[in-house]
Structure 1
Amino acid sequence: MRIELDNKQQPIQVIQITDTHLGDQPGEPLLGMDTDQSLGHVLDLIRKERKPADLMLATGDISNCGSVASYQRFHQLTQHLAPRALWLPGNHDSLPAMQQAMAGAEELNRCAEVGDWQIVMLDSTTPGEVGGNFSADELAFLRQTLQDSTASHVLICLHHHPVIIGCDWLDQQQVANADDFFAIIDEFDSVRGLLWGHIHQPIDQQRKGVRLMATPSSCVQFAANSPGFKLARLNPGYRWLELHADGRIDTAVSRVTGVEFDIDYQCSSGY
């Protein structure tokens, strides 16, 4: 997929929304939180803070139940954020249901060329499993895509974290074959950034000159550096990115303010 820009002199404007966990019906709660309501507040914040984006990225756990209705609703709620969007599945998602809901739509394209950049969407899920892992086919797809790419710079998106983040319970769900993944990444100087969700908390690090970025959920937040499941008393958020023609990435996370959400902070068993 090729995305043409109206102003090629400006950086590419990207919005990342992740881990929305929408229920089958509007208003279904997750740990006490109405995830439709929280997403609505995040979308309002994006419209208030950011000029129209060129691309919206949804990096998994769009649905909490994998229903067709939840994907249709997510599309309806977010379709005005940017003229183009790309989605990938998380462990709570059902790829067949996603494909059914978005039959023939470009949101499920695996790659997009935007200006001097290529965006690559990877599937780190294994059906029936919570943790991340890349199939042999997925790693082959990544290598072939990078080999064939004519873009100067590449941003790779996935759902699960490929690096240890310091939360013992979440680090058990890290991409199991991350070494194989990074072996491919290290072959290509064009890779500028990795972007993921799943961990419901922000990360912004560097590895061998590649930016490593994770983003808060649009619903509940996980506490950093926690050995077991624990919610953080932080509000939902999103990430914006500006992709420059020279390969630089400007980015930051922004959170909803001035809103108190109903959340069961005492839950210690996850969901």
Structure 2
Amino acid sequence: MSVAPLNGPRLLQITDTHLYADPDAVHAGVVPERRFRAVLAALSPWLADAQAILHSGDLVHDGTLAAYQRLHSALGALERPGRVIPGNHDDREALGSVFASGPISAARTLVVGDWTLIGLDSLQPGRVTGALADDELVALDAALAAMTTPWCLIAVHHPPVPVGTPWLDALGLEQPEPLLQRIDADPRIRAVLSGHVHTASSARRHGCRMLTTPATAAQFLAGAERFTTDPGAPGFRWLDLRADGGIDTSVVRVPMD
């Protein structure tokens, strides 16, 4: 696997690991633990140039402390700072307790060079769809007001715009307009990074990029009308955050035996 030339501070994004307390558990026809470990191994050559890690939600599938603790240990071994945000399968309390502090945590923001990463919590307990509560929007406003960098990334598990897969688009971020209004009004926000859809997508809204990333667990078939898995390989995304506000990015797939 070749590593792209560095063009600005590099952020690595993984998402939708869906781990269980039992590392041999099966989800959607695959063993999430096995795929996660394969992606971690593939990340190794990229870490030399990476400044930070983002996990964009659905850290675990069963809400267990054991699964969160195992993930925390694995991410900590990467020896890079990072942030995690909850997805619809996460348990907010368990996630918050395990990732309360340390280099990789659930803290709101992380500065990466000339960029600030702001994490948002779109989890609605018991529901697949996401939503941003009023206090999340207030926290976003406060984080934007406190920024000392010229550019910003927002991480939220549920995509705020359609990705072109009908059954997934029906399960995205409810009432995204308050977030989109803030994005439209603030040219410092250059990208929104999401998970949830278990596939890669890329769109633009004015000057802001809307990016989703393949899961490390099972893949979903892009464009499908109803739930359909894709036999494709798991993956991760790299993003080079340029000083001029541009982003160089691509997805790396990790073939499985």
Partner of 1:266: none
Q: Match for 1:63 among 45, 60, 64?
A: 60
- Is contact 1:203-1:213 (8 Å) kept? yes
One-letter amino acid matched to 2:214 = P
Partner of 2:3: none
Distance 1:32 1:237 in 2: 17
2:237 is the alignment partner of 1:239: yes
* 1:148 Cα deviation from its structure 2 partner: 2.5
Q: Match for 2:205 among 204, 207, 213?
A: 207
Q: Match for 1:100 among 97, 101, 125?
A: 97
Partner of 1:85: 82
Q: Match for 1:20 among 17, 20, 28?
A: 17
Distance 1:189 1:103 in 2: 31
Identity value in percent:
35
Q: Match for 1:51 among 48, 53, 75?
A: 48
Between 1:79-88 and 1:113-122, the stretch displaced more is 79-88
Gaps (5+ residues) in structure 1? 1-8, 261-271
Instruction: Give the 3-state SS of the residue equivalent to 1:47 in structure 2.
Output: helix
* 1:80 Cα deviation from its structure 2 partner: 2.8
- Is contact 1:55-1:82 (8 Å) kept? no
Two-structure CA RMSD over aligned residues (Å): 1.6
Deviation digits for residues 180-237 of structure 1, max 9, x if unmatched? 1101111211111110000000012211011111000001100011110001121100
TM-score under structure 2 length normalisation: 0.93
Partner of 2:157: 159
* 1:103 Cα deviation from its structure 2 partner: 3.7
Distance 2:183 2:164 in 1: 23
- Is contact 1:35-1:219 (8 Å) kept? yes
Q: Match for 1:172 among 163, 170, 173?
A: 170
TM-score under structure 1 length normalisation: 0.88
Instruction: Give the 3-state SS of the residue equivalent to 2:153 in structure 1.
Output: strand
Deviation digits for residues 126-156 of structure 1, max 9, x if unmatched? 1111101111111121122212322100000
* 1:52 Cα deviation from its structure 2 partner: 4.2
One-letter amino acid matched to 1:190 = R
Distance 1:77 1:104 in 2: 15
* 1:256 Cα deviation from its structure 2 partner: 1.0
Partner of 1:138: 136
- Is contact 2:28-2:229 (8 Å) kept? no
Instruction: Give the 3-state SS of the residue equivalent to 1:206 in structure 2.
Output: strand
- Is contact 1:53-1:81 (8 Å) kept? no
Gaps (5+ residues) in structure 2? 1-5
Partner of 1:222: 220
2:34 is the alignment partner of 1:37: yes
* 1:50 Cα deviation from its structure 2 partner: 5.2
One-letter amino acid matched to 1:68 = L
One-letter amino acid matched to 2:22 = Q
Partner of 1:194: 192
Deviation digits for residues 9-40 of structure 1, max 9, x if unmatched? 96111110100000012121112311111011
Distance 1:102 1:150 in 2: 25
Distance 1:101 1:118 in 2: 23
- Is contact 2:85-2:119 (8 Å) kept? yes
